[in-house]
Structures are given as structure tokens and as C-alpha cells.
Structure 1
Amino acid sequence: MVTHPPHRAGVFATSALVLTLLALPTRASAQEVFTPREDIPDAHLRGVTHVVCVTFPEGAVPEVPVYERRALGFEPAGSVPRARTVPVSRWVDPGGSQEDCFPAFEHERLNHHGVSVRYAHVMLDVRSGRKAWLGEGGADSPTATWITIESLRTLEAFEDRGIEFRRLLREDSLLIVREEPRHDASPVELNFHDGDFSLGRRIGDYAEVLDFNSYTEKYYRRGWVRLVDARGTLLLWPANYPSHGC
């Protein structure tokens, strides 16, 4: 496994989903599926602050525990069946755990009996826009649902993951890699089919694209891409095994 550099910031089974079968290096049955970009209103990807992923271990009850926001904090408010959610991406592994990842728009950290707990306002259906509060972590059980909340501001959401450079782009949009993190910087040619890419620093709306060279065991900057567009619409998404638009 590649060890990523410090600060490196570097995918629901419904009829509306497009299934992408990937040539995976381990379990051939594992699949990563995405909600088609045309099914996601731009407004539902605008102002995203975190990526929240819900992991369902083998044997887990397919439900997402939700919370209600109260004056003094958050209280459990039941659960939402997984079948009623529409995430941006879903990792499906018949022989292991499943993972659904959603955009989140607010984040709070509270102290419970001396333990810091984070909560996020998550869009559980990226088509309809339905949201709920989720809490980080899970019960102490090997079959308990587990929830992670990771920041886009610091690019934490891309750590130890691949990058989907094209899945959130509209059909009429172009992915442009630039020499500097500016809209007027010169474009750079980059073949996304050939490289071990991760994200480095974030400057403004741009993220640094790094490529790991296995011979030198070093990371090299290949350019900068927009993380969000001029209206704040999210353009990149973390992936378990990115297709790079294939």
C-alpha cells in the first residue's frame, strides 16, 4: 500500500443509478456505483463542507441512524432504511462491507461526558434533497453501522482514497488542469488514465494534483484542478477505486 504524504487530500442501488464495473485488484465482485450526474440538481452539490460515509459491515442492519437537533444538543431520532437513501456513491462488495457516501452542509462538535462527538447535516437523498443529522462513529459491535465525517476544506475527505475527476461534471463541462491555482493560469495536459493521483494542498477553489512515482517513491505536482466551480458547486469526489472517467 502506498503511504501518502502528510496533508495529502489526496463512489445505491436504485433504478436511477448507473453501475460501473471496475477491474479491481482484489475482489472481482466488488463494484462502485454512482448516481448519474444529471439526476443531481446543481443546488444539491453547492456549499458542501464535508463528505459523510456510512459503512455497513457484513451482517449489519441496513439502516442509517439519525439525530434530531435540540436546544441542548442532539438526540437519537430513529433510523432511515438504506433503501430510502440516494448517496453520491455506493461501494458494493457482496463478500464484505458496503459503504455509502453523501454530501454534508453543516458540522458541529459537542462534548458528551468528556468525549468529543461530531455531527453533520447530511443530504441522504441527492435527488430530492432530503437531509438529516448524523453522528460520527457507531455502537461497539462488529455489525454496527459506522459513520465518518471528513472535511473538504482541508481535503481530509480524500485521504487514503482515489479521486473521481469526472463523475460530478456536467456533460457540457470540461476538466481543466492548470499550472497555478488561478482561473487564468495556463492549462496543462494530463492523462488521468495513467497515474497514481492524490490531492495535496487546497488553495481557494483549487486542489493540487499529485502523482506518485513508484520508482523514485516521490510525489510530483501535475497541476491544479477546481474542487468547486465559481458558484461553489462541488466538482471532485473521493472514490474507493476511481474510474477516471472510463
Structure 2
Amino acid sequence: MTVMLEILNLSKTFSQSGALFKSKAVNATKAIDDLSFAILRGESFGLVGESGSGKSTVANSIMGLVNPDEGQILFEGQDLLQMSQNERRTIYQDMQMVFQDPYSTLDPKKTIGWSIMEPLTIHNLGTKEERKERVIQALYDVELDETYYTRYPHELSGGQRQRIAIASTIILKPKFLIIDEGVSSLDVSIQAAILNLLNDLKEKYALTYLFISHDLNVIEYFCDRIAVMHHGKLVEVFNAIDEDKIEHQPYTQKLFDAIPPIYLNK
């Protein structure tokens, strides 16, 4: 299998200034510390760690929402950090992200159809009729129907809103999806349904996933390989299927010891 995304020696430090000494940084947090890993085409790659470990900073760096201090982010061999905004815009049609809180990414004053269509409008893809057809197809892809086209976000459940968020990303037919805590706010039965949907979409559209979560149960169920982060550093990477055979690093073992019995059987 070929490498789709590669992170090389990535680092990012956030500084906070004191109220009395605005010109001097009094607190610095190293969110990512010399991080390197690779994601293979067609796999579901999990990134797990406690809150504050740097997982979301990695995702935001990949999507251009955070500017790293050092390192490289290679997508199909091209360094995103060396590209202009226009060049990145083209690349980001192939890379999309599902955020933790789908409600915050939906305009409450706009219909679901409008929200799903917005990426097509931004990238000027298709005629108005073609865009509507693609929106309806995306709704069916996430196991909803065209009646949702005219609904509003407040009319939907949490699971339905997450399906709409997923539809808004696959509408561009990307190759690579980042799922940042995509099921953490849902109950276990809804989590399972969303994860199974993501697996179906992976097969249908040949997707590659970076799946970010603090929940090892979910990560182990969904992902092929798992990377563990702690204080911005990579602790280890292992195959999920071999988890029981591996002598883990002490921090990883603590994560496994801290979770309740797994609810989902792979």
C-alpha cells in the first residue's frame, strides 16, 4: 500500500501573554513536539490520547487552520506547508474534516440542503441542478432521504446532524477524511451506527481516514492502526488487530487499563 499522508517532524508551540506584560509570553505550551507518522492509502488510522495531548492540533495543522512552527505535511507527496492558498484550495477538495460538534458547523438559519451544497458552491462545481442532485445523493449515502433537504438543524437529532456533517464532506468526493471526535457526543448505539456508516462509505468511495478520539474502545473497533499521543509526542503506533499480542508502552497500557469493558466487538 502507498502512503497518502505523511507527517514529518511536526512541531507547534502556543504562547500566551500576561495581562500586565503583553509583549512577553509568560506561558508556552508545546502542543506538537517533533511528531512523525504516515497514513497508508485505504486505511483507517486512529490517533488517540487524553484531552490536551495535541490530537486536534495535528488535524487543524493538516487542514491549514493552524500554522506549525516546523516540519512537513505531505499529501500524496506534496508538502502542504509550502503551497500557496490557491494551491491548497485545490488540494482541499481531496481532503475534508468532520468536526466534533456538527451543530456548530451548520448555519441554524439555513436549510440542510443549503449547508450540504455550500462546498460545491465555494468550489464552483456543477450547475444549480447538478448540485441539488449531488446533495440528494449525499443524503442517501448517509442513510437519510431527500425530505431532509428542506429541514433545519434544530429539527434533527445529534446522530442525524452528524450524518449531515458527513454528507457535507463526501459531497466533494474526497480521498481523505479527518474525523475529529466524530462520535464522542453520541450514545453507544448511535456511535455504532455512525461508525458502520463510515465503514460503508470507506468501501463505496475508497476513502482513507484519520480518526481522532480519546476513546480507545471506539478507536480499537474502527481503526486498522493506532497512534498514541501524550503531551504532543508520539508514544507508539500499533496494529489494532495485534493489540492483545503487544507489550505496550507504559502510557498506552494506562489508557487501556483506564477504560471500561469494550461495548463493541470487532
> Does TM, scored on the shorter chain, surpass 0.5?
no
Q: Write 1 or 2 for the structure with the bigger share of strand.
A: 1
Larger radius of gyration: 2
TM-score, with structure 2 as normaliser: 0.28
Larger RCO (CA within 8 A; separation ≥ 6): 2
Q: Write 1 or 2 for the structure with the bigger share of helix.
A: 2
